[in-house]
Structure 1
Amino acid sequence: MTVGEVTLGAAQLGAELGERATLVQFSSAFCAPCRATRRVLAEVAAMVPGVAHIEIDAEARLDLVRDVGVLKTPTVLVLDAHGREVRRAAGQPRKADVIAALGQAV
């Protein structure tokens, strides 16, 4: 699965998409980098108007994990306003990288 092939909506994510973009984080319970990623994405979402942060428990949503091709946690998908994936990163992102990736989505 490549970037641009994935489109997700509120029904699949269990939360509303952001008005301008959405940061979707796939996490697991015992993942230390997931906690740091949650903080970074929450800070960015609070800084940038119209951006939502949705965290998904990968173990509880194996169907979605398989559908979008997530291989490890944390994995972050950057979705545009229509729910189309514009960027993807595995591992703990830096705040500057998240902000740059949002630039492609909005």
Structure 2
Amino acid sequence: MPERAGVRRLGAAELGAGLGRRATLVQFSSAFCQPCRATRRTLAEVAAMIEGVAHVEVDAEDHLALVRELEIERTPTVLVLDAEGRIVRRATGQPRRVDVIAALGHAVG
């Protein structure tokens, strides 16, 4: 299926890790971000609960070009990608587990 015009896809080259078979939770973090630690735990727990979902953490300081392109303004920022790497949901701040699961519903159909 060809990529739709204007739809940005993310993949292993940009993220430094492969995508999940069904969906991917991408977390942009920074070294001294306290909410990032709790977000890491939440996303890892959800990814472990749902088959085919991966959690990828990206150090915002090490990926400044991608941060600028995606207009990431604060950490943590979480992107939910579908199986093709398209961004289907985006949130800033520390997410609740129930909200992450609900957002994954939009990615896995």
For the criterion TM > 0.5, the same-fold answer is yes
Alignment of 1:32-51 (within 5 A): 32-51=34-53
Q: Which has the larger radius of gyration?
A: 2
Question: 3-state SS of the aligned residue for 2:62?
Answer: coil
What does residue 14 of structure 2 align with? 12
What does residue 60 of structure 2 align with? 58
- What runs of 5+ residues in structure 2 fail to find an aligned partner? 1-5
What does residue 98 of structure 1 align with? 100
Question: 3-state SS of the aligned residue for 2:103?
Answer: helix
Number of aligned pairs?
103
Q: Could you tell me how far apart the structure 1 residues matched to 2:40 and 2:62 are?
A: 17
Alignment of 1:15-30 (within 5 A): 15-30=17-32
Question: 3-state SS of the aligned residue for 2:43?
Answer: helix
Instruction: Give the root-mean-square deviation of aligned CA atoms.
Output: 1.0
Question: 3-state SS of the aligned residue for 1:59?
Answer: helix
Hey, which bits of structure 1, 4+ residues long, moved more than 2 A? none
Question: 3-state SS of the aligned residue for 2:65?
Answer: helix
1:35 partner letter: R
- What percent identity do the matched residue pairs reach? 74
Using the TM superposition, give the Cα deviation of residue 6 of structure 1 relative to its aligned residue in structure 2, in angstroms. 3.1
Using the TM superposition, give the Cα deviation of residue 83 of structure 1 relative to its aligned residue in structure 2, in angstroms. 0.1
Q: Could you tell me how far apart the structure 1 residues matched to 2:7 and 2:77 are?
A: 16
2:75 to 63, 73, 78: 73
